[in-house]
Amino acid sequence: MIPKYYRCGDPSQKCPRSVTKELLKEDPKWECPCNNLNCVDFREPVSFFTVHRLWLIGAAAVVLLFLLMALIGGKDPCVPKLNDLQARFEKLERDVASLEGRPMSDGDHGAKLGRDVASLDNDAKRLVQAANQAIQNKDMGSVDRLISEANQRIESAKVLSQSLDKPESGSGVIAAEAKPLIGKLTALQQEIEEQQEIAESECPKHVGDFETIKTNVAACISKARRLTTGGAAAPPVNPSLVASVKNSITDLEAIRDRLASAPPPTPDPVKPEPPFTDADLLIGASPSIAERLVGPLAAAWTDSKVIPGPDDGWLFINGGIGKKLIVKPMSADVGFESLAAGNIALFFADRSPTAAELARFGAGFKESRSVAEVVALDALTLLAHQDNTLDTYEVGQTPSLKVAAGADGSLVRSKAEQFGLRSSVITEAFGEEAAMQDRNVLACGLYHLEGKNLRAKRLAVKASKDSFALKPSPFTIATEEYLYSYRIVAWTHSNPEQLALDLVAFITSDPGQAAVKQSGFVDLRLVIDDGRNVDPAKLAALGEAIGSKTISDSRRLSTNIRFEVNDAQLDLKAQADLERITRTAASDYPKHTVVILGFTDSSGGAAINQPLSVKRAEVVAAELRRSKVDTRSNGLGDLFPIDTNDTEAGKARNRRAEVWLVKP
């Protein structure tokens, strides 16, 4: 008689076997270790296949292996060679057929070149007019934009110039492309003859098969030779087109140089000079974000414009609120020291403070929402030329390409080194520029600098052998699952100035976050993933959380709730995200149930990690329920890691909770 097995399904989880979910063999003499008199009522039968699935799968694999070996051993030596020759012939046959279908006239190509040259000439004239106006108005924003556009047009013009003597169609081109195909077909024909001689002794039954392929190759050679007959050289391009393109390149380079040497506007006489004694709010910021993020955010808050300062790079905002704001670029170590000394009221940092930097603020000062607030997210990106075959970079593997991360001391290089990528190319270029200059370079860049029209391709990053490869995107950066994401945090004193708090409050509001996105950074407003291609294990956990075997709709929010080591305490960003989750669920998805899925690192076994993941998820769910949000929870232990469990930093990223919106 086949023994029966079961699991303990006690919903109260008082029984330890209801937590570990171990398989138990039915035994009349067995007693429940938790002395639960009704334990038998919670027994969940387990199928024979579930108990013995590993043995059954192994047996099936052995049988399949023997069958495969038998099939391989039963084949004669000529079959693989026949298949290879046939496949190679079919590819060459397709190439010949493609040439046969090509037009024999170059008229369309010539007309297209004419249109492209005319368009280039019009673009050059338009840029000259726009540049003259920008220089006259001393509009430095337009000057920078036009320099970038002129460089793009110059590059396009050079590509067009190279194509003027390289026709894309016509009888001459077809004849030229047919000749190497004839050579490949002739070589294949000789190889077939050699194999046919071998087949006469080793596998005579296939001699006719070799003869058939040889006959087909001969017919294809005849077709290819007909394509070379009478093929005339492509007609030369009109010399006036060549001259027009050269003139356009000359004009574009001249106007680009004029733009680059345009004098800046006369300094505003109302701008204060250091030491900024008349500033109502003095703000420090890391150099990378002072100009591109903090300055525009302060200007948006005060409904004013940013006025650049002198050579030391400070920014002046004379606000519509009647206040004067100064944004001073400074390194993170100087910024935290200045904030602790009371020399600035607010500091925006793109890295966390060290223990020594926190100690400067005095005993008991620590990272919390009373002194710090996450205001935006950014990421280091990896770029390659579109012609490069590399699509994924796997951490821990030696890069197959040279790494370019810009100049010494630059933010890109410091971020690359922070994430373990060391530059092996001596160049000032980084990001898209470096990737387009050299096809054998892995270029480091910054997400907020790249914009939408990216010519290079972004690589996916695989954090560990067990994690998924992810590309940087607003969703993967917002959840911080993309490995090279990082936070931008606004720091204040323990007794902050009200004006500093008001600015931070604006930045974290919807209008402020819209300005964050406008600046190219990833904002904190929650967006919804469509929920397609959800892993079955996650779907099962979501269904179990809401008590339903079926789910009609499941959507994930763009945040991961994170925890401290061996604890369910929420981190800085998670506390603010709870407020955003409450608003999103109540206003946009009132008929959905919020489900929190908890995850741990790999420390400890399943008996520890599974209940810990449930505990962490329940902490988040309980907090949301206090805001009257219908929230359930479940946990998946150390499944679905997003980083390696071999380092403390990787483990910290794996300790998280996902936020889902679910309907049964």
Over residues 612-619, the mean pLDDT reads 91
Phi, psi values for residue 248, rounded to 5° = -65, -40
Integer-rounded Cα Rg, in Å, for the chain is 34
Q: Compute the average pLDDT of residues 591-615.
A: 91
Is residue 102 within 8 A of residue 169, CB to CB? The reply is yes
Tokens of 239: 């010399």
Query: Which residues are 561's β-sheet partners?
Result: 657
Q: Is there a domain that residue 335 lies in?
A: yes
* Predicted pLDDT of residue 447: 95
Cα separation, 117 vs 160, whole angstroms: 8
pTM above threshold 0.85: no
* Residue 272 is assigned to a structural domain of this protein: no
Please report which confidence band the pLDDT of residue 456 belongs to, taking 50, 70 and 90 as the band edges.
very high
What is residue 96's predicted lDDT score, i.e. its pLDDT?
Answer: 87
Q: How many domains does the chain have?
A: 5
pLDDT higher at 145 or 445: 445
More confident call, 237 vs 44: 44
Tell me: do 117 and 214 sit in the same domain.
yes
Q: What is the pLDDT of residue 237?
A: 57
- What kind and span of H or E run contains 374? strand 372-384
84 plus 220 within the same structural domain: yes
- Given a contact cutoff of 8 angstroms between Cβ atoms, the answer to whether 161 and 241 are in contact is no
Q: What would the pLDDT profile of 18-73 be if each residue is shown by its tens digit?
A: 666 676 666 666 666 666 656 666 677 766 656 566 556 766 665 565 555 445 44
Are the beta carbons of 476 and 484 closer than 8 angstroms? no
- CATH code, domain carrying 338: 3.40.190.10
Residues 162, 260, single domain; the answer is yes
Phi first, then psi: give them for residue 475, nearest 5 degrees.
Answer: -75, -50
Q: Name the pLDDT band for 566 (thresholds 50, 70, 90).
A: low
The beta-strand segments (E) located in 498-568 are: 528-529, 553-562
Residues 237 and 294 grouped into a single domain: no
Q: Residue 547 belongs to a domain with what CATH number?
A: 3.30.1330.60
In which domain, by residue range, is 92 found? Answer: 80-266
pLDDT of residue 20: 65
Helices (H) and strands (E) in the chain, counts: 21, 21
State mean pLDDT over 421-444. 89
- Same domain for 132 and 257, yes or no, is yes
Q: Listing from the earlier edge strand, what are the strands of the sheet with 392-394?
A: 392-394, 460-462, 469-470
Domain co-membership, 234 together with 289? no
Domain boundary pick from 55, 74, 93:
74
Nearest Cα neighbor of 411 from 449, 376, 442 is 449
State the average pLDDT for the chain. Answer: 82
Does residue 17 fall inside a structural domain? yes
Longest dimension (CA), the chain: 101
Domain match, 150 and 46 both:
no
For residue range 539-556, list pLDDT tens digits in order.
999 999 999 988 999 999
Tokens of 604: 């400890």
How many whole angstroms separate alpha carbon 206 and alpha carbon 236? 52
Domain annotation covers residue 275: no
Alpha-carbon separation of residue 556 from 332, 364, 621, 659 (angstroms): 34, 37, 15, 6
Calpha distance 382→432 (Å, rounded) = 9
Given 436, 468, 487, the domain boundary residue is 487
Residue 488: what are its φ and ψ, rounded to 5°?
Answer: -115, 120
Would you say 231 and 172 are in contact if contact means Cβ atoms under 8 Å apart?
Answer: yes
Q: Is the pLDDT of residue 395 over 80?
A: yes
